[in-house]
Chain A
Amino acid sequence: MANILILGVKIPFVHGGQDVLVGTLQRELKKRGHAVDLVELPHSVMPKERLLSQAALWRALELEEFGGAKVDLIIATKFPSYYARHKRKSIWLVHQHRAIYDLFGSRYSDFSDDPRDEALRRKLMDGDRQVIGESAFVSGISQNVVRRLEQYNGIKGETLYPPLPLAGRYRSADFQPYILSVSRLCSIKRVDMLIKAMPIVHNFVKLKIVGTPDEPGIMDYFKNEIAKHHLWDRVEFLGRVDDEALLDLYANALAVYYAPHNEDYGYVTLEAFASGKALVTAHDSGGVLEFAKHEENSLVLEPTSDAIGHGINRLAADPDLAKRLGARGMEFIQSSGLGDAGWDQVVGGLLSPLGKEQ
């Protein structure tokens, strides 16, 4: 059995898919008898010049041995944790710093045409290529993430989908008339698109939003939209909820909304399917579309409030459609290996450097 360190990147006061991923990986490695611990450093994306020193801090860590116990393997996840050095490094890439890659030039990136920003972008690209390239095993959490790595950095990797975090506990129940949204509250998750759709959605359909804000001003923006359209009685912010409450919310939803821009992976997609619920998403939602198929288990729509609103109305007006899509989603989960059994493949890949000479 091996001594393994999982390297996690922590944004203080924010809880999201990354936290779920490292937590479940730690659990699964321990189940298999390994000694596992989590190393996390706090991360901030602003000001962006700080990205260099944060990457450097990871690079400066000595991770070979602690108290006489050699560390056999480190598993890095998200930027900049993969800057860490070790003779056996596996990467299960959640995402790189997307503002310099697929989001560059968009409203989701803060890189301007200042020569210093370009210098920063180039340093980070060069650094990524070097430190990811030195890894013994490279994988990503979805085909989308792996494809980005190959296209922008020329590095090939394997796709290892994270299995469902609460596998075996999801359940389905009769609909209550609400749409569920589960995500961090920030622009790229596009919860605003859903809120703005509500004025054209049938009045009896409500919106429940699970998640906490991690972008300045975002809650003011949402509240302005709600006030503008008099949606106070129809939109509810639930913040962070515990696992049981989340399972209940999934189980009783009419449908689940998850339409971020070019998502890396999206646990929510699979959680919706595992709960037998139709997913409402968009055709530019990236990793979500590796599972969501239009009119099969989801509605994959134009990324506009109008299209989202009409899509929800279809489900509200035709509960049989919602049931059918949800049932197909559940069938997909059952046949996909993304329940508990999926961990064998993930662990096998990530631990593969252990068998090799360094």
Chain B
Amino acid sequence: MREAKQSEAKPRVAWFSLLPVGATNADSLSANFSANTLPWLREHFEIELFHNSFETYQDYPTYHYLTAIERQRERPFDLVFYQLEDSKACGFIRIHLGLMPGLVLFYNFILSDDGPEPILNSAWQETVEKFHGKRSEWPDRLAEHKKESRYALREAGLALVALFSSEKDHADFKRLAKKRLAGPSEQLSFYLPFPIAPFPNRGACSASRVAEPLTLLFCGKPRIEYRAHKVLEALRALGSKVKLRWLIDASEEAQCLRLLNEFEIGNVELLSGRSPERWSQLVEQGGVAVHLLFSVFGQVFPYLQISMSAGLPCFVSDFGGSEYLPENSVYRISPGESEATQLTLALERILREPSLRENLCARSFALENHLAQNVAHEMVLAFKRAQPIFSELRGRWEKFEAAAQVALREEALSLVGPDAEQQGFIAQVFRDLKW
């Protein structure tokens, strides 16, 4: 008789992220990513969530990130996972990934600010050198450490395994991140598409849709890098043939109205509450989506992928990460003087040829690569592949932490004074406190 196989305990994952609690994280990439993938991942992993608040999220065990070390001691994690986006709200992520290193998913490899106080003068490079035994001394506390560039080299260096939502960022990382906790034989990195929720099948272009006035869907911020001024210039040339539906954040309303006034756009609907969920509701109603971005900062996912998965014709800037999109899945607009004209001509063509109002190539590309279930499956494979490397590096990091404890103790005792008896007296109290 065969013995029943005992079911294995699921690997434990500490998941550090902004979470979709309250209205403040509606537009957060990591909150959105968590909402889309956690339901699939919990079938494979025991997940505990950590964020910068004491609020809980659904029925997941949820904790403040500063209590993670306690959770680690009670029941060690098999993996530690961080999501890092270019947002001040992710300051705690940038700090903590250096205190408890793990896997880091980068939504942006170029960060627009230097980070919160604790890392402004980070001696991370010296920490990495000491970790590898290339340096005997701990970093000099009084030294100044200048940030070399806007690339997240510190965060990349401290990531045991790095994941990227942008293939371009992944390529930049491989080119630029030289100093890392992971040694040459341990380096592992992945591209991980951003997950989106599925859409119902919209089928081919119907006669009723042909009769509709063309709707241009736009969710860019009213800032120069999102090319709002070029979009409005293009629309002005088209008059009433195209209606604009602009999804914004409430704080942007005054600025948007000023722009609309300046470009004399009347056929417009301003919608408040920018979020992937809200965008999904809009694209379901059809139209043409514009996702221009001409900047090294920021990104157009998941909004672009949501539009693509709905089969909408999508416009992107011919710049940055768009080179990784298949040729016939998007319309590329070159930034510059003729930008508005390119957009106007493309929209006029779509107006003349109703068959262009649906892009099934874009839809199949988006569903194949970005469907939440598929991305979660990729994550499971990535986590399983990363586990042995994480385990090995984590073990070495814990020894490194123990050495830091010894160094701290010596520093603290030296401040007591040179007298051995005094130091011994304080050392005894340290022992009583298990310090």
B25 interface hit (Cβ, 8 Å): no
A106 pairs with B117, CB closer than 8 A: yes
A52 interface hit (Cβ, 8 Å): yes
B95 pairs with A113, CB closer than 8 A: yes
* B401 contact from A60, A113, A118, Cβ within 8 A: A118
Residues of B within 8 A of A115 (CB): 99, 127, 138, 400-401, 404
* A114 contact from B141, B409, B412, B413, Cβ within 8 A: B141
Residues of A within 8 A of B433 (CB): 55-56, 59, 83, 123, 127, 130-131
Report the Cα distance A116→B118, complex, angstroms: 13
* B416 contact from A53, A55, A119, Cβ within 8 A: A53
Residues of B within 8 A of A113 (CB): 95, 98-99, 118-119, 122, 124, 127
* A151 contact from B64, B409, B411, Cβ within 8 A: B64
A112 pairs with B122, CB closer than 8 A: yes
* B404 contact from A49, A60, A116, A125, Cβ within 8 A: A116
**How far is the CB of B63 from the nearest CB of chain A, in Å?**
10
A32 interface hit (Cβ, 8 Å): no
B95 pairs with A107, CB closer than 8 A: no
If the complex has contacts A122-B69, A127-B435, A152-B66, are A112 and B430 also in contact, measured as CB distance less than 8 A?
A: no
A47 interface hit (Cβ, 8 Å): yes
B415 pairs with A112, CB closer than 8 A: no
A105 pairs with B411, CB closer than 8 A: no
A344 interface hit (Cβ, 8 Å): no
**How far is the CB of A148 from the nearest CB of chain B, in Å?**
10
Residues of A within 8 A of B139 (CB): 114
**How far is the CB of B218 from the nearest CB of chain A, in Å?**
30
Report the Cα distance A339→B127, complex, angstroms: 54
Residues of A within 8 A of B415 (CB): 47, 49-50, 53
Report the Cα distance A109→B120, complex, angstroms: 12
In chain A, residues 78-133, which have Cβ atoms closer than 8 Å to a Cβ of chain B? 83, 101, 104-107, 109, 111-120, 122-123, 125-127, 130-131
In this complex, how many residues of chain A approach chain B with their Cβ under 8 Å: the count is: 36
**How far is the CB of B275 from the nearest CB of chain A, in Å?**
24
B408 interface hit (Cβ, 8 Å): yes
Closest to B430 in A: A56
Residues of B within 8 A of A52 (CB): 408-409, 412, 430, 435
B429 interface hit (Cβ, 8 Å): yes
Residues of A within 8 A of B426 (CB): 53, 56-57, 60
In chain A, residues 40-68, which have Cβ atoms closer than 8 Å to a Cβ of chain B? 47, 49-50, 52-53, 55-57, 59-60
B281 interface hit (Cβ, 8 Å): no
Interface majority SS on A: helix, strand, loop or mixed?
helix
Report the Cα distance A309→B383, complex, angstroms: 53
A111 pairs with B416, CB closer than 8 A: no
Report the Cα distance A314→B282, complex, angstroms: 43
A50 pairs with B66, CB closer than 8 A: no
B64 pairs with A152, CB closer than 8 A: yes
If the complex has contacts A114-B141, A115-B127, A118-B99, are A59 and B412 also in contact, measured as CB distance less than 8 A?
A: no
B425 pairs with A112, CB closer than 8 A: no
Report the Cα distance A112→B92, complex, angstroms: 12
B412 pairs with A119, CB closer than 8 A: no
**How far is the CB of B73 from the nearest CB of chain A, in Å?**
9
B432 pairs with A59, CB closer than 8 A: yes
**How far is the CB of A76 from the nearest CB of chain B, in Å?**
15
If the complex has contacts A49-B415, A52-B435, A113-B122, are A119 and B408 also in contact, measured as CB distance less than 8 A?
A: yes
Residues of A within 8 A of B409 (CB): 52
Report the Cα distance A101→B54, complex, angstroms: 13
B268 interface hit (Cβ, 8 Å): no
**How far is the CB of A81 from the nearest CB of chain B, in Å?**
15
* B123 contact from A60, A114, A119, A126, Cβ within 8 A: A114
**How far is the CB of A86 from the nearest CB of chain B, in Å?**
15
Residues of A within 8 A of B420 (CB): none
B127 pairs with A49, CB closer than 8 A: no
Residues of A within 8 A of B412 (CB): 49-50, 52-53
Q: Which residues of A contact B (CB under 8 A)?
A: 47, 49-50, 52-53, 55-57, 59-60, 83, 101, 104-107, 109, 111-120, 122-123, 125-127, 130-131, 151-152
Nearest 9 A/B pairs, CB to CB: A115-B404, A113-B98, A56-B429, A52-B412, A119-B405, A116-B408, A119-B408, A119-B404, A49-B411
25 sample A-B contacts, Cβ–Cβ < 8 Å, listed by A number? A47-B415, A49-B408, A49-B415, A50-B415, A52-B412, A57-B426, A57-B429, A60-B426, A105-B118, A107-B117, A109-B118, A112-B118, A112-B123, A113-B118, A113-B124, A114-B138, A115-B401, A116-B404, A116-B408, A119-B401, A119-B407, A125-B69, A130-B434, A131-B433, A151-B54
Q: Which residues of B contact A (CB under 8 A)?
A: 54, 64, 66-67, 69, 91-92, 95, 98-99, 116-119, 121-124, 127, 138-139, 141, 400-401, 404-405, 407-409, 411-413, 415-416, 425-426, 429-430, 432-435
